[in-house]
Structure 1
Amino acid sequence: MNPLQALIRTRMAEKHWSFAEVARRGALPRSTVHHLATNEQPSRPPHPQTLTRLAAGLDLPAERVRAAAAEATEHTVLTLTTDPEVEFLVSAVGRLSREDRRYVAKLVRTLLARSAADDTGKIGV
């Protein structure tokens, strides 16, 4: 059993909650909660918003759920920010083609360089 499964199952047992109850409390599909609690070998971490909702459904701190998911998948789990534009960018970039991601990365590097130049008083790129 991976750490995320163990956390979900332990909390459900402590509270005597079903998958449906956790799903309802976290505004998630029941199938998502079931999948996270039963999938032994996740290939990638769940979406950050899914983990935030799962934490709400389990009535646990989001950081605790994110840490368990990161350990289960051996990946870093991104933390959602309170900035909706940043959330959108982070969640959308993975749906782009590889070529488009490269274009976005180049654009971001250019914008960061321009911002750094502006901060030092140099003329922008």
Structure 2
Amino acid sequence: MDNALQRMMRRQLDAQGWSYGDVARRGGLPRSTVHHLATAERLVRMPQPATLERLAAGLELPLETVRRAAAETCGIYLYAEGEPGASTDPEVATLIASLQQLSAADRQHVAALVDSLLRRGPRPE
């Protein structure tokens, strides 16, 4: 079964008549990275921002289109600005932006902390 990123990539490759190598050259990515993103059943974590930018360039698609497909494939829902559920809280925006600067090990620690806090249940503010 194809995921959102695979479907998006396949549509663009078919429409343009491109290979994985063509996309890799156009975006400045290793061919193996393009192949992995196009064929992996499931992504365990979101690709790095630079990888998504290069993939978007290689596919000649808007970055937001590629980012949303990758996020959906990872099981992440990205809220668009102004969309119901989107946070205008600057602390939330700072936390989200800061996570990408952490190492993989540190992100796992943060995820474990958040998971334990959520399992504890609601707390009075």
What is the correspondence of 1:60-75 to structure 2 with a 5 Å cutoff?
60-75=61-76
How well do the aligned residues superpose, as a CA RMSD in angstroms?
A: 2.4
Matched, 1:34 2:43: no
Which structure has the bigger radius of gyration? 1
Runs of 4+ in 1 over 3 A off after TM superposition: 89-92, 95-98
Deviation at 1:48, TM superposition (A): 1.1
SS in 2 for 1:17: coil
Q: Does 1:12 align with 2:21?
A: no
How far residue 75 of structure 1 moved from its aligned partner, in angstroms, is 2.4
Q: Which residue of 2 aligns with 1:93?
A: 102
Q: Which runs of 5+ in 1 are unaligned?
A: 78-88, 102-125
CA separation in 2, counterparts of 1:24 and 1:90?
A: 29
1:43-82 to structure 2, matched below 5 A, reads: 43-75=44-76
Aligned-pair CA distance for 1:95? 4.4
* Residues 27 and 45 of structure 1, relative CA distance in 2, 3 Å threshold: same
Output the CA distance in 2 between the equivalents of 1:52 and 1:15: 19
On the 8 A contact 1:8/1:37 being kept in 2, the answer is yes
The DSSP-based 3-state class of the residue aligned with 1:68 is: helix
Q: For 1:113-124, what aligned pairs fall within 5 Å after superposition?
A: none
1:62 is aligned with what amino acid?
L
Shift of 1:74: 1.2
* TM-score normalized with structure 2 length: 0.64
Q: Following the alignment from structure 1 to structure 2, what is the Cα–Cα distance between the partners of residues 11 and 38?
A: 14
Task: Look up the SS of the partner of 1:70 in the other structure.
Answer: helix
* TM-score, normalised relative to structure 1: 0.64
Cross-structure match for 1:104: none
Mapped contact 1:22–1:57 kept (Cα < 8 A): yes
Q: CA deviation at 1:19?
A: 0.4
Which structure features the higher share of helix residues? Answer: 1
